[in-house]
Amino acid sequence: MTDTTIRKSIFIAAGRETVWRYLTRADLLDLWFHPALADLEQGEDYTLVSQRDGERMCWGKVIEMRPPEYMRWDFTVGPVQGAMTTVEWALEEVPGGTRLTLTHSGLPEARDAFGLVVALDSGWHGFLANLRRLAATAEAGDYSATIRVPVAPEAARRAIFDQMDAWWSNRVNRSDTGVTVHFGPSRARFEFRESDRAGEYQWLCTEAHMVIEDVTDAAEWQGSRLLWHIAPDRDGSRITLTHAGLNAAMACRDVCTRGWQKYFEHSLREHLSGGTPTPETR
């Protein structure tokens, strides 16, 4: 008999309680997997829907929960034609974080079903990468926010890369490999980095001169990263910005968080929604 069980284990720089929340809360499942109609609870049916059109994607029942150590689902997707498989989640505390192990068993073993197994294996790989990034960000306390906009992902990407003067600052020096953004007497230089995941973009801050009252280190942004994630949504796109490194270790956290609330959460959303953006004009 052929064993088509999918087994994956990843290490996450976050405690088990944080990872558990991302596995069970509807609002957090939406960020890395699929939107859930309700929080997951033992003995209850669940339904996960498409971010694009709200159609049912995955469904089943939560068979067992032992927070924050173990969870088992009955699980099916459309291509399985209603046949139930089993998904198990095991969370093990390790020095520095959590080892999360996924076991997906009960998959069809016939030769003509191999393409489905490969697709599920690839899907879990990408979803777990999303989960690792988000849970680690939450644990570190890095700035992270998500906006929804009524445009396609490619239009959202163009706005972020090519239209910064419309929503961030009217003083932008853009090149093929990076950008320098000026706002008032402050400036930051970012280098665009490649990502191996569709819809994900990384900008490394290679130079910073942030003039902020009561902040003595004007270069503290240097070495931090902007992580952009763009995904299709039922009404357009969902954009998540994480400023990796912008947390309690930075003296400018409060001021810079308010800055992202203004430029990302408000101005970029307004720009992509036909409203009135508010870029920096100094």
User: Same domain, yes or no, for 191 and 225?
Assistant: yes
Given 88, 111, 140, the domain boundary residue is 140
User: Same domain, yes or no, for 124 and 181?
Assistant: no
User: Same domain, yes or no, for 16 and 136?
Assistant: yes
- Give, as one character, the DSSP assignment of residue 123: H
User: Same domain, yes or no, for 81 and 173?
Assistant: no
User: Same domain, yes or no, for 114 and 184?
Assistant: no
277 domain-assigned: no
pLDDT per position as a tens digit, 160-199: 999 999 999 999 999 999 999 998 899 999 999 987 777 8
Residue 3 or residue 94, greater confidence: 94
**Number of domains present in the structure of the chain:** 2
282 domain-assigned: no
End-to-end CA distance of the chain: 69
Residue range 128-157: mean pLDDT, rounded: 94
User: Same domain, yes or no, for 268 and 205?
Assistant: yes
Contacts of 152 (CB under 8 A, 6+ apart): 232, 236, 237
Given 140, 169, 196, the domain boundary residue is 140
* E-strand stretches of the chain: 6-12, 45-49, 56-66, 70-77, 85-94, 97-105, 143-149, 171-174, 178-183, 186-193, 200-209, 225-233, 236-244
User: Same domain, yes or no, for 127 and 188?
Assistant: no
Range of the domain at 73: 6-140
User: Same domain, yes or no, for 120 and 149?
Assistant: no
Confidence (pTM):
0.77
CATH code of the domain containing 114? 3.30.530.20
The rounded distance, in Å, linking the Cα atoms of 192 and 195 is: 10
Residue range 213-227: mean pLDDT, rounded: 95
User: Same domain, yes or no, for 131 and 147?
Assistant: no
Helix, strand, coil shares of the chain as percentages rounded to 5? Answer: 30, 40, 35
281 domain-assigned: no
| Predicted pLDDT at 83 | 85
Averaged pLDDT of the chain? 93
Largest interatomic CA distance in the chain = 69
| Predicted pLDDT at 1 | 42
